[in-house]
Amino acid sequence: MNESKYPRNTRESFPCREHPARRAGLVLVVVVTALAWYTLGQIESQIRRGVAGTLQASLEIALGALRNWASEKKANVSSRDFGAITRLGRPGETGEIYAFDRGGKLLTESRFEEQLRQIGLVPPGGQAAGSLEVRDPGGNMVEGHRPALPRSRQPLTLMAREATAGRPGMNLDGYRDYRGVPVVGAWTWDEELGFGLAAEIDVAEAYRPLWNIRALTVSALAVAALLFLGLVAVQAEASAARLARERTVHEKEARMSAAMSNLVEGVVVIDERGTVESLNPAAERMFGYTAGEALGKNVNLLMPEPYRSEHDGYIQRYLASGQSRIIGIGREAEGMRKDGTVFPADLAVSELFLEDRRLFVGVVRDIAERKRTEMESRDSRERLRELAIRLQNAQEEERRRIAREIHDELGQALTLMKMNAAWIGGNLSPEREDILKKAHLICRLADSTIDAMRRIASGLRPGILDDLGVSAAIEWHAMEFQERTGVQCVLDLDPEEIPFLDRERAVALFRIYQEAMTNVVRHAQGAEKVVVRLRKTDGRVTLEVRDNGCGITGDRISGSGSLGLLGMRERARSWGGTLEIVGRPGEGTLVVAQVPVQ
């Protein structure tokens, strides 16, 4: 091995005195242990949170889109509708979103249709939707497992059992899907739509980075043990001849070199002046420099601006004050390769004392792939959110069109029918009393039908919302709500302070208010009073709806089973706004929505 690639340690660098050698060994153990803690504590939790967030976001947005679609169509969602929505939100390369009925039968197409035909779960030319049940075969059929039990006697998968029992949830530890492949997933059951929905991704894809990190951790701890044992060996041989001491030092260096060579992370060792003393093979591959090109040069060679100009100042300030925002703390930074390309990196720096020499050990991890995955995940969530917005807008436009047609066409026809019936009644002779009664009955039926038509049209899309704005629409709805339910409505509206919002924002704010009032009737047992406040502050319109009912629970606020709350959040979020729900048992519930004016 080329000795110039690693620290130039001599007998002066590793004097065989008991306490310095032990201290150096302990420092090395601390460095490697810190790396293990950083790897498992930071990256593992981040990966699990990322997987959970992706699954939950895919499930919630797909639920919202399906609910809006189903509401718009006024009928059950078809298999084709399912496919259009669930294909859009598939996470990763092996992830899928699918729906199933109470018996566990798939209602949507599978992402693995060809694979299902190959393993015999779907006949040639057949489709999974409507025929395949979500059952656990007991082993991975993709890898050759063939169950002893027929498909009809196999149990439902863990996800399907929980969902059909009405228990929404998430499993990040892994379970078998209908192919027997280990997956992680999130699921829920929607009683209103009458089906369950699951978002799943293969464990192998979800936790591939985590498995690599675990292998790194085992390697790092093994290196720490070897290094410490090597230093203990040096201490035990302190009384040996100088040749024996040097031989021990060289053996230790060889073990250190071998350990550093096998690490998948880049390791760079520098001295107090910032001069590179060691570069392991992973760092060579990462930065594009050979050890011979980097040794003896300032470490800022591996940094882009502004880090390059500021790095020497960091070291000098630390040496002078002992205070650092870098040493012992993992953080994100940027590295620069030999060809000038810049890449994001996780950096952990540790301080190491070898007798009278102070060294700094930097462990560098290239996170460009992780950043790309995070960006793709954000883009996917944003596309799903945009789809939800378009579905909401299409639904509102359809409601407005239907309400207008009911009002204009049916209203005119009913009015004309009433006028004709009244004319007939006025021109009949008293002897035709039977026909006269029929004419009067037609007039009364026309009046009641016109009233019902107006209520239906207003429920679909209040005309006052388009004509006079959100304040007037809330005032109209509150009066109707109070008459219908007996719950007192107290309004604190200032139309002079509320700008005339564009139609889409006004509709979003009114629908949030409408859903909040619906929840008062459905869930706020004992509510006798509702206070509604609408204000404009700092370029944002704030809507508050407060009732004095039983108070919503924290589980219901944070749960994914309430499509009403999910719809409220998505409406506010779609316009850059926020929604906050606070419940106090026995005191009531407060809903606060904020939407930017522009």
Tell me, what CATH number does 593's domain have?
A: 3.30.565.10
Return d(Cα 458, Cα 478) in angstroms, integer. 13
CATH of the domain at 131: 3.30.450
Model confidence at 157: pLDDT above 90: yes
583 with 554, same domain: the answer is: yes
Max CA separation in the chain (angstroms): 140
83 with 49, same domain: the answer is: no
Return d(Cα 287, Cα 284) in angstroms, integer. 6
Asked if the structure places residue 160 within a domain, the reply is yes
483 with 581, same domain: the answer is: yes
Asked if the structure places residue 551 within a domain, the reply is yes
User: How many whole angstroms from its chain centre is CA 149?
Assistant: 38
Average pLDDT of the residues of the chain: 78
Asked if the structure places residue 98 within a domain, the reply is yes
Model confidence at 178: pLDDT above 90: yes
123 with 181, same domain: the answer is: yes
**What does each C-alpha distance from 111 to 85, 179, 311 come to in angstroms?**
13, 12, 50
- Percent of the chain that is helix, strand, coil (3-state, to 5): 55, 20, 25
- Return the SS3 of 75: coil
- For residue 326 the two structure tokens come to 């870098």
Which H/E stretch holds residue 262? Answer: helix 242-262
pLDDT at 2: 46
Q: What is the mean pLDDT of residues 496-500?
A: 61
36 with 159, same domain: the answer is: no
Helices of type H across 406-502: 411-426, 433-460, 463-468, 470-485
Model confidence at 170: pLDDT above 80: yes
Identify the bridge partners of residue 185 per DSSP, sorted by sequence position: 171, 200
Return d(Cα 559, Cα 564) in angstroms, integer. 11
pLDDT at 105: 94
- By the 8 A CB rule, do 595 and 577 touch? yes
- For residue 478 the two structure tokens come to 């509150």
Percent of the chain with pLDDT over 70: 71
Model confidence at 464: pLDDT above 80: no
Model confidence at 544: pLDDT above 80: yes
- By the 8 A CB rule, do 217 and 264 touch? no
Q: What is the mean pLDDT of residues 93-117?
A: 91
Q: How confident is the model at residue 74 (pLDDT cuts 50, 70, 90)?
A: very low
Phi, psi of 219, deg, nearest 5: -65, -45
Identity of the residue numbered 522: R
27 with 138, same domain: the answer is: no
- Give the torsion sign (CA, 424, 426, 432, 433): positive
- By the 8 A CB rule, do 129 and 109 touch? yes
Q: Of 52-56, 118-122, 371-375, which has the strongest mean pLDDT?
A: 118-122
Return d(Cα 343, Cα 429) in angstroms, integer. 96
As a whole number of Å, the end-to-end CA separation of the chain is 65
103 with 180, same domain: the answer is: yes
> Pick from 217, 238, 263: which residue ends a domain?
263
Q: Of 313, 332, 309, whose CA–CA distance to 321 is shortest? A: 313
Q: How confident is the model at residue 84 (pLDDT cuts 50, 70, 90)?
A: low
Q: What is the mean pLDDT of residues 344-356?
A: 80
pLDDT at 10: 41
- For residue 354 the two structure tokens come to 């070898």
CA-based angle 61:98:386, to the nearest 5? 25
483 with 589, same domain: the answer is: yes
143 with 229, same domain: the answer is: no
163 with 178, same domain: the answer is: yes
- Return the SS3 of 411: helix
Q: How confident is the model at residue 16 (pLDDT cuts 50, 70, 90)?
A: very low
pLDDT at 158: 95
pLDDT at 17: 45
- Return the SS3 of 327: strand
Q: Of 17-21, 198-202, 387-391, which has the strongest mean pLDDT?
A: 198-202
- How many residues does the structure list for the chain? 598
The edge-to-edge listing of strands for the beta sheet with 195-202 is 96-100, 195-202, 182-190, 169-176
Helices and strands (H and E) in the chain: how many: 19, 14
pLDDT at 396: 59
**What does each C-alpha distance from 238 to 14, 19, 51, 462, 507 come to in angstroms?**
11, 11, 52, 92, 82
pLDDT at 168: 93
Which H/E stretch holds residue 339? Answer: none
Model confidence at 329: pLDDT above 80: no
Asked if the structure places residue 200 within a domain, the reply is yes
- Return the SS3 of 243: helix
Q: Of 1-5, 124-128, 312-316, 463-467, which has the strongest mean pLDDT?
A: 124-128
Q: What is the mean pLDDT of residues 400-411?
A: 63
Q: How confident is the model at residue 120 (pLDDT cuts 50, 70, 90)?
A: very high
Q: How confident is the model at residue 177 (pLDDT cuts 50, 70, 90)?
A: very high
Q: How confident is the model at residue 14 (pLDDT cuts 50, 70, 90)?
A: very low
Return d(Cα 66, Cα 80) in angstroms, integer. 12
pLDDT at 171: 94
pLDDT at 167: 94
Q: How confident is the model at residue 4 (pLDDT cuts 50, 70, 90)?
A: very low
481 with 590, same domain: the answer is: yes
591 with 488, same domain: the answer is: yes
> Pick from 237, 263, 289: which residue ends a domain?
263
Asked if the structure places residue 291 within a domain, the reply is no
Enclosing domain of residue 500: 467-598
Asked if the structure places residue 61 within a domain, the reply is no
**pLDDT tens for each residue of 201-222:** 999 888 887 777 777 776 767 6
- The residue among 80 and 318 whose pLDDT is bigger is 318
Asked if the structure places residue 569 within a domain, the reply is yes
Q: Of 412, 413, 503, whose CA–CA distance to 463 is shortest? A: 503
- The residue among 375 and 118 whose pLDDT is bigger is 118
> Pick from 206, 232, 252: which residue ends a domain?
206
CA-based angle 597:580:462, to the nearest 5? 55
CA dihedral 500, 501, 507, 509 (to 10 degrees): -100
DSSP 76: P
Return d(Cα 270, Cα 318) in angstroms, integer. 14
Return d(Cα 580, Cα 557) in angstroms, integer. 9
Identify the bridge partners of residue 269 per DSSP, sorted by sequence position: 278, 361
pLDDT at 60: 84
Asked if the structure places residue 581 within a domain, the reply is yes
Q: Indicate the number of domains in the chain.
A: 3
Which H/E stretch holds residue 342? Answer: strand 342-354
Identify the bridge partners of residue 200 per DSSP, sorted by sequence position: 96, 185
- By the 8 A CB rule, do 280 and 271 touch? no
Model confidence at 29: pLDDT above 80: no
Return d(Cα 569, Cα 578) in angstroms, integer. 7
pLDDT at 21: 54
- For residue 446 the two structure tokens come to 């026309």
Model confidence at 461: pLDDT above 50: yes
Does pTM surpass 0.75? Answer: no
